[in-house]
Structure 1
Amino acid sequence: MRYAIYFSPPPDDPLTATASEWLGRDAFSGQMLDPPASLSLPVAQWQDLVAEPQRYGFHATLKAPFALREGRTEAELVDAFDRFVATTETLAFPQIVVGQLGPFFALVPDDLHPPLQVFAASVVEAFEPFRAPLSEADIARRRPERLTPAERQNLDRWGYPYVMSEFRFHMTLTGPVDGSLAPHVHAELRQRFAPYANAPLAIDGLALFVERSRGEPFTIHRWRPLGMLQDNRKILP
């Protein structure tokens, strides 16, 4: 079993509904969904595009998937998660756009936002005591020979290359897209996500995702709003 700490909008957020429809799966319920309405791509082509992000669910990675360190329990992780979100303030960045990261499309900030970088680093650090060391196979899957020195250092220290100074917030919408298809996919995504693009995005909650066994879809074990500390002893339900 593996866990991950991701940003996700709340379950009743319109962005969650739009993204779940596009990906063909609701990470909150685990339910598979029909192909999106008014799809301009052949269904088989769409299925290929969303196959990888569909398994992970709509999210932005903060603490990448990890197995629990020996001696740690899920109950301890859940307790730490609840306390972290309860004592962490919300933030927002000014503008999100449909962008391209290499061959992938994602919702991304229009520019680097320093408070978001600080927030992401705090999540990585807070949950590091729960992360089991990577296996040799896990390290090999990351193709360490292709990483930059900073990314390799992050992999060794934090179990994931793209953290700290290498972190770039993104909510993945596709797998790799062939160059000849990219303009069409970009146009499709701009149309579908037009209500949310070129507008602020609030980081107002976190989700604890779980992968029951390797290769299974990730589902949301719990979602909690940020900043809900009632007092020094109790957390609002």
Structure 2
Amino acid sequence: MPFRRLALYHLPDGPLGAFGAAWLGWDARRGATLPRPELPHLPDEAETLTAVPMRYGFHATLKAPFRLAPGHEVQDVARRARLVCDHLTPFDLQLELARDYGFVALRPRQQPPQLQALEQALVTRLDDLRAPLSPEERDRRRPDLLPEPARRHLDHWGYPHVLELFQYHLTLSGQLAAEDAKALCQALQAPLAPLLAQPMAVKAVALVGEDAEGRFHQIEEIPLLGQIAD
């Protein structure tokens, strides 16, 4: 399948990953639509609440979607990502439900050094494989509204929220009015509580591609193979 853009994501697995994929209605691992769980007290139809994040699947962005630079192929990205992940260690994240800027998401209570190292390595060490932003792509990020550090990152790395501005998040909704975001958090509390009771293991990175309809598919799962110190 030809892909318009590539990205490096973390795709949660296990029960949490299954719930998140079903809630959004798209399983990026299998490239398949899923029936959504029936939850009471939603502020709107699930399809409406998740229309924007649905096509990405249940994911956290590590290197944002990018077009390949001329002369490079998907396997070049996969090979480089494997080299990065060979030397980085798995880690755990304790997640919590949060509302930020009108979006509902799962965020870690703290970002461990291993997470920061993973994101920074993927952003910086694969960047020569990324085609420069087109003027239209840059304008979609509304650079005039970004603070100066984010604008510099946009121009240098093709995405504003990287490196010291990076915040891991698993998006569960589009942008919502404050009351709708609050209501959605309340509706998601009960099904998510047992899934968040234990830390989530981060032990692999997913190379994903965007199809012609804008949906993302896992191309390869790349394990973190670094040795954890005793």
Q: TM-score, normalised by structure 2?
A: 0.90
Change (3 A) 1:113 1:85: closer
Residue of structure 1 in register with 2:139 after alignment: 140
| CA shift digits 1:86-144 (9 cap, x unpaired) | 33211223x21011121001110123434422321111112111110000000000000
One-letter amino acid of the counterpart of residue 66, structure 2: F
Residue of structure 2 in register with 1:235 after alignment: none
1-side partners of 2:141 and 2:106: how far apart?
23
Q: CA offset at residue 74 of structure 1? A: 1.6
Residue of structure 2 in register with 1:8 after alignment: 11
Does the residue aligned with 1:89 lie in a helix, a strand or coil? coil
- How many equivalent residue pairs? 224
Q: CA offset at residue 45 of structure 1? A: 2.4
One-letter amino acid of the counterpart of residue 152, structure 1: R
2:83 maps to 1:83: yes
2-side partners of 1:126 and 1:192: how far apart?
38
| CA shift digits 1:23-63 (9 cap, x unpaired) | 11111112112231344327x62211111111011110010
Change (3 A) 1:75 1:119: closer
Change (3 A) 1:72 1:84: same
Residue of structure 2 in register with 1:218 after alignment: 216
Tell me, which stretches of 5 or more residues in structure 1 are unaligned? 230-237
Does the residue aligned with 2:23 lie in a helix, a strand or coil? helix
One-letter amino acid of the counterpart of residue 49, structure 1: L
Q: Is the 8 A contact 1:22 1:35 kept in 2?
A: yes
Residue of structure 2 in register with 1:234 after alignment: none
What fraction of aligned residue pairs are identical, expressed as a percent? 35
Does the residue aligned with 1:4 lie in a helix, a strand or coil? strand
Does the residue aligned with 1:194 lie in a helix, a strand or coil? helix
Residue of structure 1 in register with 2:175 after alignment: 176
The Cα RMSD (Å) is 1.8
One-letter amino acid of the counterpart of residue 170, structure 2: M
Q: CA offset at residue 177 of structure 1? A: 1.6
Residue of structure 2 in register with 1:68 after alignment: 68
Change (3 A) 1:182 1:74: closer
2-side partners of 1:113 and 1:103: how far apart?
25
Tell me, which stretches of 5 or more residues in structure 2 are unaligned? none
Does the residue aligned with 1:35 lie in a helix, a strand or coil? coil
Report the more deviating stretch, 162-171 or 114-123: 114-123
